[in-house]
């Protein structure tokens, strides 16, 4: 049976026929964070490799235009970058400049104003690339996908009497010692319906009250808790019989939100 949301929290909704794909590029940071790990690592490597190659090519071009490559053995000649004798050394100097390694073998001289401008430009752009890519990697690593593996829901939900009231109940617990701060829970009934006017609404979402009015939806999740939805006049299950409940096609999605204490 196909589910709207899997047990591990993954949604089975796939976007198709998206025409305005440029909108993904306007929010490039979120797009990179949402990429799969193999593509994120590829972008991470390319971001640095391309900038190193790009500035390495410019350093080589400056040396070529100034004639530094033609005066390699002329000790009286002051080059733009000492010990730069080809594209490979220009590429290495670009890496040393952007990563601020500074081996001391290749160094820019004060007789090259265009090189000084390029050095400032590469230092600024290199810092921007570092901040952007490190930020993407940090956000991607700190995503709560794996943290959710230690949040356990009961395998079955039950309908039973509690305090002489019919309730839909399930249990949730946290396996880790680090608490979830400001945890809150809500539930949605996913069910297609048809309105009185004849309109068919596929996968309509209806709220299931799990204590919003009383504050019981805000959890202190240090031990397993039983979440209860009272089936009263406001509940979508009020007019549903037990026999109809067993045959009806619907899905209940439970959403637990909160902040991890450690982060």
Residue 114: the pLDDT is 93
Confidence of residue 93 (pLDDT cuts 50, 70, 90): very high
DSSP 220: -
Contact (Cβ atoms closer than 8 angstroms) between residue 119 and residue 38:
no
Contacts of 218 (CB under 8 A, 6+ apart): 182, 183, 184
Q: For residue range 157-176, list pLDDT tens digits in order.
A: 999 999 999 999 999 999 98
- Residue among 81, 47, 49, 78 nearest 62 (CA): 81
Burial state string for 63-80 with b = 16 or more CB within 10 A and e = fewer than 16: beebebbeeeeeeeeebb
Cα four-point dihedral sign 171, 172, 175, 178: negative
Tokens of residue 254, six digits = 């439970």
* Mean pLDDT in residue range 12-20: 79
* 30: nearest Cα among 20, 40, 42, 41: 40
Domains detected in the chain? 21-142 (1.10.287.70), 147-260 (2.60.40.1400)
Judged against a pLDDT cut of 90, whether residue 23 lies above it is answered with: no
Report pLDDT digits (tens) over 212-229.
888 999 999 889 999 999
Phi then psi dihedrals of residue 153, to 5 deg: -105, 155
| Pair type for strands 158-162 and 165-174 | antiparallel
Q: How far apart are CA 113 and CA 188, in angstroms?
A: 65
Question: Mean pLDDT highest for which of 30-39, 42-51, 237-246?
Answer: 42-51
pLDDT tens-digit map of 228-250 = 999 999 999 998 888 888 888 89
Q: Output the average pLDDT for the chain.
A: 89
- For tokens 């000790």, the residue is 75
Instruction: Provide mean pLDDT across the span 60-85.
Output: 90
């Amino acid at each position: 049976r196909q589910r709207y949301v899997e047990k591990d929290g993954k949604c089975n909704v796939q976007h198709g026929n998206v025409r305005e794909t440029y909108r993904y590029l306007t929010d490039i940071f979120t797009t990179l964070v949402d990429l799969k790990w193999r593509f994120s690592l590829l972008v991470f490597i390319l971001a640095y490799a391309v900038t190193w190659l790009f500035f390495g090519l410019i350093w080589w071009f400056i040396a070529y235009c100034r004639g530094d490559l033609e005066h390699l053995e002329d000790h009286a000649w002051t080059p733009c970058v000492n010990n730069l004798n080809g594209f490979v050394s220009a590429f290495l100097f670009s890496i040393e400049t952007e990563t601020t390694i500074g081996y001391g073998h290749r160094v820019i001289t004060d007789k090259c104003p265009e090189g000084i401008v390029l050095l400032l430009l590469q230092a600024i752009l290199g810092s921007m690339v570092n901040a952007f890519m490190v930020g993407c990697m940090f956000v991607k690593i700190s995503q709560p996908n794996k943290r959710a593996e230690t949040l356990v829901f009961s395998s079955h939900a039950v309908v039973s009497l509690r305090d002489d009231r019919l309730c839909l109940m399930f249990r949730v617990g946290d396996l880790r010692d680090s608490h979830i701060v400001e945890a809150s829970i809500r539930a949605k009934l996913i069910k297609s319906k048809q309105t009185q006017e004849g309109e068919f609404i596929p996968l309509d979402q209806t709220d299931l009250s799990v204590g919003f009015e009383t504050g019981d939806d805000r959890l202190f999740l240090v031990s397993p808790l039983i979440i209860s939805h009272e089936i009263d006049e406001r509940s979508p299950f009020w007019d549903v019989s037990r026999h109809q409940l067993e045959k009806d096609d619907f899905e209940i999605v439970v959403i637990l939100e909160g902040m991890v204490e450690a982060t």
